[in-house]
Structure formats: C-alpha cells, structure tokens
Amino acid sequence: MKTVSLNKYVDTVVILDQTQLPGKETYLYLTTPEDVWEAIYHLKVRGAPAIGIAAAYGIYACIQQVKTSSYPVFLEEFQKIKNYLATSRPTAVNLTAALDRMEKVVVSNPQKNIPEIKQLLRMEADAIREEDAIACRQIGKNGLSLLRSGMGILTHCNAGHLAVSEYGTALAPIYLGEEKGYGFKVFADETRPLLQGARLTMYELQKAGVDVTLICDNMASSVMQKGWVQAVLVGCDRIAVNGDVANKIGTSGVAILAKYYGIPFYVLGPTTTIDYSCPNGKSIAIEERKAEEVTEMWYTHRMAPTDSKVFNPSFDVTSHTLITAIITEKGIIYPPFEIGLRKIYS
C-alpha cells in the first residue's frame, strides 16, 4: 500500500485514509487546498514524513489551478496556499520543511515560465518522497544493529510504513528483522485517544506476520516489570538541538518507565525531523486538539459527563536525559546529543 502518492495524469494527491483503518482500505483524492488541509488536520494522512510528502504533493496539485503567466501573481498565490497548509499540523517539522523546499523552487526560478516552474515543483515533491524512502531503509539498518534475535520490543503510536513512504522509522528495524528471521516479540501501546497503535501498528505488523501483542497504554509498566521488553522503539515529530524530542502524547511516560526499568529507549527518525532553530523541548509548540477525541470518539455513547473539561495535547516532549540514542539515516547519535546533531548539520 502507498500511503501518499501523486496521480500524475490528473495532478491529484492520492492518500490512504488512515481514519478508516483497520476496517477498510479507502483511498481519497485531493485537489484543493481545503482537501489537503482537512486530510492532514483530521489525520487521514499522518506521521511526520508522510505529512511532509502529502504537503509537497498537495501544494503541487493545488497550484495547478492557478492559471496565470505572471510570475509575481503565481508566487503570491503559491505563498497563500503554503501559509494555509502550514497551519494544519504545526508540531511536525516535516510539514513546514517540505513546504519551504517547495517554496524555494518557486523563489529561485523567477526567470522561468510558469509551466517550467510547475514541472520543477513536481520533481521536487518526487525527490522529497524518494529521499524519505532511502532514509527509512537506512534507519532500519542502523536500528537493527542495536537489536538481538528474539528481543521483546515495545512501541508507541505508529511509526511504520503508514507514517512514511516505505518501511517506517521506529518499525523499520522490526520489518528488516522479520525479513532476516529475528523473531521479535512486539508490544504495541494502543495510544490513546486516537488509537494509532491499536488501529495502525497492529494492522501493519499483523499483515507483515510479526508476533505482536496489543496492550493498553497503562499496561506498559506491567510488561516491562515482567521482563518481556528489552528495548523501546519510538518515532518522532520534532527533535530539538539538545536532543529533546516531541512525539505522540504518552511517549514521555514510556521513556520514564524505560529509564526506571533499565530498558534502552531509542528514538528513530530521519534527519528532516531535526529542527536546528529549536534549542530545546520548551521551544516546541504543542498542538491541542478537540475534546471530542477523548470524550466520545470511537464510543457508541459518550463516555464522559457533558461539559467535562478536557486537556487533549497531541504530543508531549521527552527529555534528552531519558533517551538512550537517536537513530537517523546518517548514523546513531548518543549523548551528548547536541554534539552529534550539530555534526550531522555540518
């Protein structure tokens, strides 16, 4: 399955609607800025790299509707769409990074005619996707080098191929290990309130034949205490320069448990998730979402009293002090993280 692709014959973004999984595989066709924004905001496409790819293909598809031969008019319309799409999921750095790359194509080519610029935009979007696919494969190889056959692995949220172009980030070593006969035993947190672990990680790993067991988020301590977990693998939406990491809500709690039980806690992600303008986790804007996701989504009947106060952050920040290593396509980074992260940048 392709999570995000471009139908190049009609310049339409095609996404697998992840809100419909695991019940049915439904593909959506996006042509307008509103289509793309809604798909990203409502998590029909999700995962930091996949969001970036969707944004790149999305702005390319949307700009096809701008019919002008004037470069200033084209640039103005492009930037309007870019600024609008950037508001859909502000925490994931890949969204703005992909949009910035696409904008650079337009800004750097004022001498070209509009059809030529549009062609360059499509090539840039293709490059963003291909670079992610290459990165994910290498992340998997680097991560697998730290694991042993038969290990118990706990993961949180979904960082598999549904969240990227291929393989995934945190799940990439598991897929490669499965291909090589490592026989991992995976525990997938359900990941409240949107259940990405239950709906998506379980769906993916079961289809791949991986030995995977679903647990509620509050059962992580129990399986660790029993000695069933020897490593934790999670993805990331943004990495600060000091090594603090923003990821799906609940990740920091898993990291604290892993530290207590002496279990390695690995963060896996492409270097595109490193935000060199962000000094630490306190600088990361955390998206807050609607109360309905907690009180009634997935339920036949509302599960909280009417007018209940709800705090529903989509992400939390895991301190660099809780992270064993950050695994990227360019290598494995150990503390002190700032030195390793800046070395990658240089």
Catalytic residue numbers, as ranges = 237
Contact 128, 114 (CB under 8 A): no
Pairing of strands 231-234, 238-239: unpaired
Query: DSSP 3-state helix, strand, coil percentages of the chain (rounded to 5)?
Result: 45, 15, 40
Q: Is 77 exposed, middle or buried (0-12, 13-18, 19+ CB in 10 A)?
A: middle
CA distance 99 to 145: 33
Bridge partners, residue 168, by sequence? 160
Q: Cα separation of 95 and 295, whole Å? A: 28
Rounded CA separation 114/70 (Å): 8
Cross-strand pairs, 6: 13
**Nearest alpha-carbon partner for 198 in 17, 18, 7:** 18
